[in-house]
Amino acid sequence: MNEFEQNVQSKRNDAIDSGVGFAASFGFFALIFIIGTVVKLIGS
């Protein structure tokens, strides 16, 4: 067992962190898509 396994800095669940990261990136791209759709509707 190495020193990093003995001295864990964060004991939180990794699934929660990955879910938050996925939701943040999904929300960002959805926002860009919505802005693009609104600009397309206004321009037509």
**Which DSSP string corresponds to 1-43?**
--HHHHS-S--S-HHHHHHHHHHHHHHHHHHHHHHHHHHHHHH
pLDDT of residue 11: 81
pLDDT, position 18: 95
Residue 8: predicted pLDDT: 79
Instruction: Flag whether 14 is in a domain.
Output: no
Residue 13 lies in a domain: no
Write out the residue range of the structural domain in which residue 42 sits. 20-44
User: For the segment 1-44, what is each residue's pLDDT rounded down to a tens digit?
Assistant: 678 778 878 788 889 999 999 999 999 999 999 999 999 999 98
Q: What pLDDT does 31 receive? A: 98
Question: Does residue 25 belong to any structural domain of this protein?
Answer: yes
How high is the pLDDT of residue 9?
81
How many domains is the chain partitioned into structurally? 1
Is the residue at 34 inside a domain? yes
Does 2 reside within a domain? no
5 assigned to some structural domain: no
